Amino acid sequence: MSMFVVPIPRVADVPKNPIFAALKDFAKQSGQNELSDSNLILLGSSGTGVLFARFVGFAPERIVAAILTAPGQGEPFGIEHIELSGLALNVPQLIVVGGSDDHVGTQRPYDYFLRHWNRGAPWTFLVQNKIPHCCVINVKPLILEWLGDVVRLRQPKPDNPLRQISLKGWFGAMRPCDVISHDHWGEPLWNVCSASVQAIGRNAPAGFLIAGWLPTKQFAQHWLSYIQQQEHPANSFPNPCGR
pLDDT tens for 113-132 read: 999 999 999 999 999 999 99
Q: What's 102's domain CATH number?
A: 3.40.50
Q: How many domains does the chain have?
A: 1
Is the separation of the CB atoms in 97 and 128 below 8 Å? yes
Residue 3 pLDDT class (50, 70, 90 cuts): low
Pairing mode, strands 209-214 and 39-45: unpaired
C-alpha 101/C-alpha 114 separation (Å) is 19
Residue 116 lies in a domain: yes
Q: What is the pLDDT of residue 16?
A: 64
Residue 241 lies in a domain: no
Is the separation of the CB atoms in 79 and 106 below 8 Å? no
Residue 142 in 3-state DSSP? helix
pLDDT tens for 12-44 read: 444 467 777 777 788 788 887 777 678 899 999
pLDDT tens for 69-122 read: 999 988 888 999 999 999 999 999 999 999 999 999 999 999 999 999 999 999
Is the separation of the CB atoms in 39 and 9 below 8 Å? yes
Is the separation of the CB atoms in 133 and 98 below 8 Å? yes
Range of the domain at 140: 2-227
